[in-house]
Homo-oligomer: A and B are copies of this chain.
Amino acid sequence: MNQHPEYLLNKIKSPADLKVLSLDEMKQVAGEIRHLIIEKDAAVGGHLGPDLGIVELTIAYHYVFNAPGDKIVWDVSHQTYPHKMLTGRAYAWLDPEAYGKVTPYTDPEESPYDYYAIGHTSTSIALATGMAKARDLLGGSEKIMAVIGDGSLTGGLAYEGLNNAATEKGNLVIVINDNQWSIDKNVGGLPVALKKLRDTNGEASDNLFKAMGFDYRYVADGNSLEAMIAAFQDVKDVDHPVVLHVNTLKGKGYEPALANEEAHHWVSPFNLEDDSPKHPAPALTPKKVAVQTIAEAIDRGQENLLAINAAIPGAFNLDGFKEQYPDHYLDVGIAEQESVALAAGFVKAGGRAILFENSTFLQRAFDQLSHDVALNNLPVVMLVGGGGIQANSKTHVGVFDQVMISNLPNWQYLAPTTLAEEKAMINWAIQQKAGPVAIKLPVWPVDEKGSTLEGYQHIHYQKWRAGQGAAILSLGDTFNLGLKAAEELNASLYNPLSANTLDTDCLDHLARHYSVIITLENNVLDGGFGQKVASYLADQPVLVKSFGEKREYTDVDQSLAEILNRNHLTAEQIVNDVKQLLSSKN
């Protein structure tokens, strides 16, 4: 039920309804939007600070420009709640029963006002420039805008985008939404450049945008609706590329967000009275174990360790670590290419780098994983979070990092089945010198039934259950699933430890003693572990069947259970499939 039937927002079905409002009415709408963001986030979680900071900019955009004919590309698109509310989707904030009906990122399948499914940073300038080039070639006249946060500007693609946007021949406006934050505090030389500009009301002598040839303009208070409307009216009809640098306040309107920006970039459900989380964090998680293991190694005297992270320490529980071990922590900004190449340099010069990377964002660093790390066979250690099948936004799926890393030479890609095994693998990885090691941190619930492996050394498949007929190889997260299926089938169960180093002695042995070999992995099947096993055994008579995810993007409209079911990743389906195979063999 609509909780705010009195809100002006109820009357805004599209930007046309906004354009007839008075300035005061639009300010009232701004207040309503802020209230709704906080109210819904408190109930179900979501991005908070970025959306609170961009309310006036969004209202001004839809007041001045004519979407969807005029086109706006929102970088990352995690700040588009106000945009969604003004383009016919306010019901998903007004009515708690409709909270799930609008997705967290822009999506052209959801609205004609959205042009792309976007969830990764730094792409907006390139996308907008491409749209401008098409307009120029096809003879259109629409206005094109990219809105990019200062945090996203630390990613290299943003700069490649600026380099090419600078020479665009027609209308193109790049709004720098400068709120002085990535997810964590911004790092490096860029914040220095932006601060000089803010401190001088845009007049600083060394202006990197002007240096590249841009028409540069500055708005000191991007949370002033009047100022934003005036700024947009000024640039609306330009015939050349403009950088519009706008100073905004991330978290504006919610005091706790202003007091602690990083913790309020994205929030889990919280209590409105005191900002406390509704669901306390679990005591022990794979990420906490990882950080703890590194800290213990430093405490034991391994002084050459450096934990490297690309702007998301909170996502890895690194906040305490960075306070306690400042010399052993480096945040490179939202810049995964940099994180991996810098780690290569650090290791080459005698240090031990431990990268904390999020699977989906790590995609930006493929070339560095190959050219800088693998080709030079440097013993970089990388802990991958968020890798595996989850009920995520389609913009953030984490099923491709294993494909990209495990098919490269020299990389060892490990997937622990328990926290104890994870710890043993990390402790081994930070000591060994054979080459680069990636460790996929569990994302499905793990328990301690499995391995308490100590002193991990090399890939030797571990037998966890003796059975007959079928042997199941359960990689990483799928251990419990494999155990359940094995018990029901009275099959044997093995822990293969690695996604890309096959224990061929063991596989040959299994091929001789079982009719059917099963592989399970928490990953897309294509380019995965199962295809390697199937291919290795394909010239032997044993049958092999691999379970994993189909090659597709899943989205928030599907629960994890639904996704798993559709991919035959339940014990019941596996048991049935294996029984069929066994009977075909006999």
Contacts and interface: CB of A to CB of B under 8 A. Distances in A.
Contact of A133 (B115, B135, B342, B541): B342
Contacts of A545: 538-539
A524 B333 CA distance: 34
Contact of A363 (B73, B138, B343, B366): B366
A552 interface: yes
Interface string A210-222: 1111100000000
B189 A119 contact: no
A470 B356 CA distance: 48
Contacts of A161: 338, 341-342
A368 B157 contact: yes
A395 B375 contact: yes
Contacts of A73: 345
Interface residues of A, number: 121
Nearest to A196: B211
Interface in A127-142: 127-131, 133-135, 137-138, 140
A167 interface: yes
A532 B538 contact: no
A546 B538 contact: yes
Interface in A212-240: 212-214
Given A71-B349, A164-B332, A404-B404, 6 more contacts: A137-B306, A156-B158, A189-B213, A374-B553, A409-B551, A535-B544
30 contacts: A116-B348, A116-B372, A126-B338, A126-B341, A127-B341, A131-B348, A133-B345, A134-B306, A138-B349, A159-B159, A162-B189, A163-B189, A163-B333, A164-B333, A166-B188, A189-B211, A193-B211, A206-B207, A211-B211, A366-B366, A366-B404, A371-B395, A375-B553, A400-B408, A403-B527, A500-B526, A500-B551, A531-B532, A534-B535, A535-B544
Interface of A: 71, 73, 108, 115-120, 123, 126-131, 133-135, 137-138, 140, 154-167, 187-190, 192-193, 196, 204-208, 210-214, 303-304, 306, 327-328, 330, 332-333, 335, 337-338, 341-351, 353, 361, 363-364, 366-368, 370-372, 374-376, 394-395, 400, 403-404, 406-409, 500, 524-527, 530-532, 534-535, 537-541, 543-546, 551-553, 581, 584
